[in-house]
């Protein structure tokens, strides 16, 4: 099992290029199941979750060809409309194939999602929405089974609360349904918008993606196309925080500044400099000790829950007291005990973490519990005095492509050890 070894105290400087969005690539790959024609996707990040999804598509019967960051999917025939547990037990996104499979083949059998232990992501929101579209769904032995032998039909779907994967799943099901589907209280994330762009290229008729109401008029079939995945806003945000926490100066290329606007504002409030140097470029720098700033995670365009752990790491050495409020997942403070091992002063009170900044962190042996928690430990290690050894970095590999190489290229003392 790999570990990361970090010696902190080095300000980062230079340029970092951002890869394609994992959270946009996963639904895009699932959408390839909706057509019998080839779909070519580019800027696909070669991270572990993507590899799992590619194996899942191949299991269903699709031809999957991977060439670096380019993936060609040809789902001519789908003999196995199923997502077995052994394939998807490490990935939260398995539910994304439920809608496409039942829409395309009239049936689907999907294992309940696995992945990070950051809290419940109830699939009941997907299920009730697909039932509104006419699918008959049963649950047993850890699987969700959907049947729609006569096809799906349009309906009004109103989510009780905003769900990104639920919105994406219903969008993919509705594009082949008979009639019009209206999704109310829809997620507005950039990844949802990117999926809508892809589906539209394939021949779908979608209006309102990026707003709280999405309208979809079903079509008889979709065609093949080519699509380039949007940049990963969470990777961009992680490197923005890396620049700030180390007192460095990073030029972050190939990003969409608008997608990280909430983080940019909080970094400025904390005393860091953050500016756009072009339509796809951000510069973040910091000098001296930052000051505390409160955050509350919210659905887009609010502060992303996937950046909460990283921002908390930044606040551990800021001057003052910061209150971090988590509203999306009920168990997303699993990094707190590990940060405390490094000297952080954090008290948990329900859905809030109260972070009193300390003068310095010290290196320690720590364990990553989930994807974004592992990123927060890397950030803490970059500024900690001495050596930090992070175990279970396979969590990190689920969402970041060779993060240690990118950090080393801008001055970090970091290496992977086996």
DSSP of 330-384, one letter per residue? Answer: TT--TTHHHHHHTT-EEEEETTEEEEE--S--B--EEE--SHHHHHHHHHHHHHS
Q: Confirm if 49 and 22 have CB atoms less than 8 A apart.
A: yes
Q: What is the mean pLDDT of residues 203-213?
A: 98
Q: Confirm if 315 and 293 have CB atoms less than 8 A apart.
A: yes
Tokens 């829409």 locate to 103
- Note if 5 is an active site residue: no
Q: 32, 116, 255, 280: which is the annotated catalytic residue?
A: 116
Cα–Cα nearest to 373, from 298, 311, 303: 311
The whole model's pTM is what?
Answer: 0.95
**3-state secondary structure (DSSP) of residue 59:** helix
Here the tokens at position 146 are 């959907």
Is 80 exceeded by the pLDDT of residue 119?
no
Q: In what order do the strands lie in the sheet with 213-217?
A: 156-158, 180-184, 213-217, 205-207
Query: pLDDT per residue over 52-109, tens digit each?
Result: 999 999 999 999 999 989 999 999 999 999 999 988 887 777 889 999 999 999 999 9
Q: What was the pLDDT predicted at 372?
A: 87
pLDDT bucket at 122, cuts 50 / 70 / 90 = low
Is 70 exceeded by the pLDDT of residue 117?
no
State which fold the 22-228 domain adopts. UDP-n-acetylglucosamine1-carboxyvinyl-transferase; Chain (3.65.10)
pLDDT bucket at 124, cuts 50 / 70 / 90 = confident
Q: What was the pLDDT predicted at 418?
A: 87
- Establish whether domains 3-19+231-417 and 22-228 are of one fold: yes
What CATH number has the domain spanning 3-19+231-417? Answer: 3.65.10.10
Tokens 């230079």 locate to 14
Is 90 exceeded by the pLDDT of residue 20?
yes
Contacts of 148 (CB under 8 A, 6+ apart): 102, 103, 106, 107, 133, 134, 135, 136
pLDDT bucket at 371, cuts 50 / 70 / 90 = confident
Domain definitions of the chain by residue range: 3-19+231-417, 22-228
Q: Confirm if 224 and 19 have CB atoms less than 8 A apart.
A: no
Signed CA dihedral, 334, 337, 342, 345: sign only: positive
Is 60 exceeded by the pLDDT of residue 380?
yes
Burial string for 259-294 (b: 16+ CB within 10 Å, else e) reads: bbebbbebbeebbbebeeeeeeebbbbbeeebebbb
Check residues 270 and 90 and name the one with the higher pLDDT: 270
Q: What was the pLDDT predicted at 114?
A: 54
Q: What was the pLDDT predicted at 123?
A: 80
Cα–Cα nearest to 290, from 308, 260, 311: 311
> Alpha helix (H) ranges present in 186-316?
190-201, 233-245, 261-270, 308-315
pLDDT bucket at 193, cuts 50 / 70 / 90 = very high
Q: What was the pLDDT predicted at 192?
A: 98
Query: Rounded to the nearest 5°, which phi and psi values hold at 169?
Result: -65, -45
């Amino acid at each position: 099992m790999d570990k990361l070894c970090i010696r902190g105290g080095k300000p980062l400087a230079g340029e970092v290029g951002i890869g394609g969005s994992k959270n946009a690539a996963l639904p895009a790959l699932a959408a390839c199941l909706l057509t019998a024609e080839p779909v070519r996707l580019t800027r696909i990040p070669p991270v572990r979750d993507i590899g799992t999804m590619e194996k899942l598509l191949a299991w269903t019967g699709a031809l999957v060809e991977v060439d670096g960051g380019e993936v060609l999917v040809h789902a001519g025939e789908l003999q196995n409309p199923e997502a077995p547990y052994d394939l998807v037990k490490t990935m939260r996104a398995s539910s994304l194939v439920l809608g496409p499979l039942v829409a395309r083949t009239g049936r689907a059998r999907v294992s309940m999602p696995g992945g990070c232990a950051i809290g419940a992501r109830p699939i009941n929101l997907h299920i009730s929405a697909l039932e509104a579209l006419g699918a008959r769904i049963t649950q047993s032995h850890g699987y969700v089974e959907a049947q729609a032998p006569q096809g799906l039909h349009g309906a009004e779907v109103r989510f009780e609360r905003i769900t990104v994967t639920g919105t994406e799943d219903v969008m993919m099901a509705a594009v082949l349904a008979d009639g019009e589907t209206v999704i109310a209280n829809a997620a507005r994330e950039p990844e949802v918008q990117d999926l809508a762009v892809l589906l539209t290229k394939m021949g779908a008729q979608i209006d309102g993606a990026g707003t709280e109401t999405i309208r979809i008029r079903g079509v008889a079939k979709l065609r093949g196309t080519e699509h380039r995945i949007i940049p990963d806003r969470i990777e961009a945000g992680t490197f923005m925080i890396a620049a700030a926490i180390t007192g460095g100066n990073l030029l972050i290329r190939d990003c969409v500044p608008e997608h990280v606007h909430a983080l940019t504002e909080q970094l400025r409030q904390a005393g860091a400099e953050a500016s756009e140097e072009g339509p796809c470029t951000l510069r973040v720098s910091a000098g001296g000790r930052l000051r505390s700033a409160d955050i509350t995670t919210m659905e887009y365009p609010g502060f992303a829950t996937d950046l909460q752990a990283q921002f908390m790491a930044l606040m551990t050495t800021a001057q003052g007291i910061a209150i971090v409020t988590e509203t999306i997942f009920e168990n997303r403070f699993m990094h707190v005990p590990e940060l405390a091992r490094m000297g952080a002063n954090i008290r948990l009170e329900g859905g809030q973490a109260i972070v009193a900044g300390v003068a310095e962190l010290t290196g320690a042996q720590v364990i990553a519990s989930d994807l974004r928690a592992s990123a927060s430990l890397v950030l803490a290690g970059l500024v900690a005095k001495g050596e930090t050894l992070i175990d279970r970095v396979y969590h990190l590999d689920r969402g970041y492509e060779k993060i240690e190489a990118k950090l080393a290229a801008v001055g970090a003392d970091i290496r992977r050890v086996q």
